[in-house]
Amino acid sequence: MLRCIAKRCLEACMGKLMSDPFASARLIVIKVGSALLVDPAGGALRRGWLRALCADLAALAAKGHQLIVVSSGAIALGRRKLGLKSGALRLEESQAAASVGQVQLAEAYADGFEAHGIVASQVLLTLGDTEQRNRYLNARATLKTLLDLKAIPVINENDTVATAEIRYGDNDRLAARVASMMGADLLVLLSDVDGLYTADPTRHADATHIPDVPAITTQIESMAGESVSGFGRGGMASKIAAARIATAAGCDVLIARGKDDRAIDALRNNGRHTRFHATTTPAQARKRWIAGVLKPEGTLIIDAGAAKALLDGKSLLPAGVRQIDGRFERGDAVVVKDQQGREIARGLTAYNVEDAERIAGKRTAEIEAILGYRGRDEMIHRDDLALTVTAS
């Protein structure tokens, strides 16, 4: 009898665990679109909805999840304040609207999170910041620091300085790039539909919902019709493109309906969604990227003590570096070799070649006195290192 009750309890717990789509995710990126945040009729901020979202996210944070929000809405909010008429805006009008709306957007999130004792931060990125490694290193370190300090970064594209046409849907891609840059486990794209259907459900009554997508095939891509909502020109196609980027970086992606209040809470309680499954882990994806995709610009020759430290999973400190070859900038990929010329690792260097030469062989505590600024403690941080030999 007792065994039977225990078994049922366990099953109930497991059921709960299985139904909470966030359960195993450490770092979660949530993408919020303009169509959810801004009332399509008057262009006003949907304050009640945002308060509810912040409450849901605070509950997730209280459970130990780290969170990053990628939010659109700056242009939609700003155009209303500036009295810009409906219809397509010229690029410079969009950029002006973004610079006005972004103030309101950031304030609204700051207030929403403050009600739960959480500090929000505003981070404006361009896609280049998440794609070019020298800028990538800084963006990643800043976001990581904010997360360690228990703040919730709220990211938008830096529309005001963007040089390309701003398109709705860009933030789906930005969110996927952020997720991959940060090694997130889960990206939640809050949308106007509750996931992917075999056809556009607004036009085809027989369209069926797809709960799980193990791999993004051409058939899956062909199911993404055009979005019908006025703000969301991104539609399903840009969500699938984002899912492709994120899943290849080891991050699962959920597409779920976000329009109603407490959308995240609903999702935690069995709400309908589509899950795109990651094809690797974030750590493997990152190591593969560092070890294989980036072209190394230089070589660091290190001593035996440093080589052993790397094989033990530690960072490369300046003290262990004996010789430097090549020309590289901070954030470039370099090869790390031992004094016998054997390659041990590849990684992203925290110093350019001039500074690296000056601090090579020196203790970390001496860096500031030598360079005149307090740089990173490590020449290559272990998060930015991929071993290319295995410990024997």
Count Cα atoms within 13 angstroms, Cβ side, for 92.
0
Q: Does 34 bind ligand GLU (CB under 6 A)?
A: yes
Range in contact with ligand GLU (rule: CB under 6 A) among 71-79, 124-132, 303-311, 359-367? 71-79
- Per CB under 6 A, the list member of 75, 176, 182, 187 interacting with ligand GLU is 75
How is residue 332 annotated by DSSP? -
- For 11, other C-beta atoms within 10 Å of its C-beta total 10
Q: What angle do CA 155, 378, 29 make, to 5 degrees?
A: 20
How is residue 286 annotated by DSSP? H
- Per CB under 6 A, the list member of 21, 112, 195, 234 interacting with ligand GLU is 234
Per-residue b or e along 84-94, where b marks 16 or more CB atoms closer than 10 Å to that residue's CB: beeeebeeebb
User: What type of residue sits at position 21?
Assistant: P
Q: What is the DSSP string of 218-231?
A: HHHHHT-----SSS
Range in contact with ligand GLU (rule: CB under 6 A) among 69-77, 129-137, 180-188, 340-348? 69-77
**In terms of CB distance, is 79 or 346 closer to ligand GLU?**
79
Least distance CB 175 / ligand GLU (angstroms): 9
- Per CB under 6 A, the list member of 43, 112, 153, 169 interacting with ligand GLU is 169
Is 191 in a helix, a strand, or coil? strand
| Residue whose C-alpha is closest to residue 159's, from 112, 80, 216, 102 | 102
Q: Does 229 bind ligand GLU (CB under 6 A)?
A: no
- Per CB under 6 A, the list member of 156, 180, 191, 388 interacting with ligand GLU is 156
Range in contact with ligand GLU (rule: CB under 6 A) among 119-127, 131-139, 162-170, 199-207? 162-170
Six token digits for residue 293: 């995709």
Q: Does 129 bind ligand GLU (CB under 6 A)?
A: no
Q: Does 33 bind ligand GLU (CB under 6 A)?
A: yes
Q: Does 28 bind ligand GLU (CB under 6 A)?
A: no
Q: Does 159 bind ligand GLU (CB under 6 A)?
A: yes
Interface with ligand GLU (CB under 6 A), residue total 16
Q: Does 168 bind ligand GLU (CB under 6 A)?
A: yes
**In terms of CB distance, is 71 or 247 closer to ligand GLU?**
71
**In terms of CB distance, is 73 or 282 closer to ligand GLU?**
73
CA torsion sign, 104 to 108 to 110 to 111? positive
**In terms of CB distance, is 232 or 375 closer to ligand GLU?**
232
Q: Does 191 bind ligand GLU (CB under 6 A)?
A: no
Six token digits for residue 79: 């155009």
Residues near 389 by beta carbon (within 8 Å), at least 6 away in sequence: 311, 342, 343, 344, 345
Range in contact with ligand GLU (rule: CB under 6 A) among 73-81, 109-117, 147-155, 257-265? 73-81
Backbone angles phi, psi at 233, to 5 degrees: -60, -20
Residues that bind ligand GLU (CB under 6 A): 33-34, 72-76, 98, 156-157, 159, 168-171, 234
